[in-house]
Amino acid sequence: MHTEEKFTDKSDLNLEYFFELSPDLMCVAGFDGYFKKVNPSFINTLGYTEAELFAKPISEFIVQADRAITKSKRENLLKSNLLTHFENRYQHKNGAIIWLSWSSIALQNEQVVYAVAKDVTVKKNIEIERNRLLQTLNETNKDLKHFNYSSSHDLRSPLSNLLALHQLLDDSAIENPEVAEYIALLKLSTQNLNEIISSYMEKWIKKDRLILDLIEIKFDDVLNKTKNAINELIRKDQVIFLTDFSEAPSVVYSPDYLQSIFLNIITNAIKYARSGVSPIIRISSKKSGNNVQLIFSDNGIGIDLEKAGENLFKLHQRFNPSAEIDGKGIGLYLVYNHVTSLGGTIDVSSQLNVGTTFIITFKVRKQI
């Protein structure tokens, strides 16, 4: 059936006008995959002549990437007789991409498909651009968060060394009162900066529950990085490390989160060591069912778990009021949030003047 065919009665004439004047793309296609009839809007939108549209299979006008899904939808249409709101891309004669939204009905007896399409190219291009901008904004926001977190995290290492150096200074040996005052102010400023950075890190972790970059990380690598970051503190307190990661050498996790877990638990073990006893920190890993466990044990002053109760991992909680120990009650809060935010658990056992053990169970994840 071609456009030059004439309708004989009045109803046919009205339908012909409707077909010819419609702003939507209308066509009749055969079950053989060829156009049989197209209206002027179809020709104007795609830029091909009627003869060109009839000469090749319909699939050859469709963008290559959409041909498979179009074929599948067409096969379903021929079985179910109806298809609505299907979008695919056609290639204009000049190479431009045209997005069409189809509604079609198949007539088995006549072996033809009647179809109407709307040109939704402008809407789709706006949608694609919007999604591109949202993706760019999301990546920028993600980079900024990573920069903020990394900067604060990296600053904590030299700050820990500065605090350790301050502890080594013998204020009583400084004879010049002005120099002693400057050193005292420098120490106070360092402590305040450390507290501010720790607080900012805690706020970001609390708010940020977006998907993180999860990669496979070796426990040995994280431990070495942590030891390098606080080497002055380790040297001063003569810390002994006993490690065994042979059973479970790695875990898929957030690098920043895992680094913070190591840093906070290890610095706590050093900070809360028993007087006159060199800190011994045992770190091991093992498989637990389908999950991985990381165990930290120390020989420090311990925690009164009965007294601490449910406040153990809450913000600004201190369970040893000794003025000699500079604790802000942030470290365990950060560790708890790092672990639980990714579906893990953390258990604690402790005995006063014997030591503390943390068992962290990581929920096994696939690398993103």
pLDDT tens readout for residues 10-52? 445 567 777 888 889 999 999 999 999 999 999 999 999 999 9
Q: Which 3 state secondary structure label does DSSP give 24?
A: coil
Over 60: is that where the pLDDT of 243 sits? yes
Rounded to the nearest 10°, the torsion over CA 273, 276, 278, 281 is -20
Phi–psi pair at 79, nearest 5 degrees: -90, -40
Over 80: is that where the pLDDT of 325 sits? no
Structure token pair of residue 349: 């056992």
Measured at the CA of 228, the angle between CA 286 and CA 260, to 5 degrees, comes to 55
**pTM (predicted TM-score):** 0.46
Q: What is the DSSP letter of 107?
A: E
Q: Which 3 state secondary structure label does DSSP give 3?
A: coil
| Alpha-carbon gap, residue 243 to 291, rounded angstroms | 19
Contact 224, 264 (CB under 8 A): no
CATH 3.30.565.10 fits 130-362, yes or no: yes
Average pLDDT estimate for 224-243: 90
Average pLDDT estimate for 148-171: 64
Q: Which 3 state secondary structure label does DSSP give 350?
A: strand
Structure token pair of residue 66: 């959409």
Residues in the chain, total: 368
Domain ranges within the chain, ordered by starting residue: 10-119, 130-362
Q: What is the DSSP letter of 41?
A: H
Q: Which CATH class is domain 10-119?
A: alpha beta
User: What is the C-alpha end-to-end distance of the chain, expressed in Å?
Assistant: 55
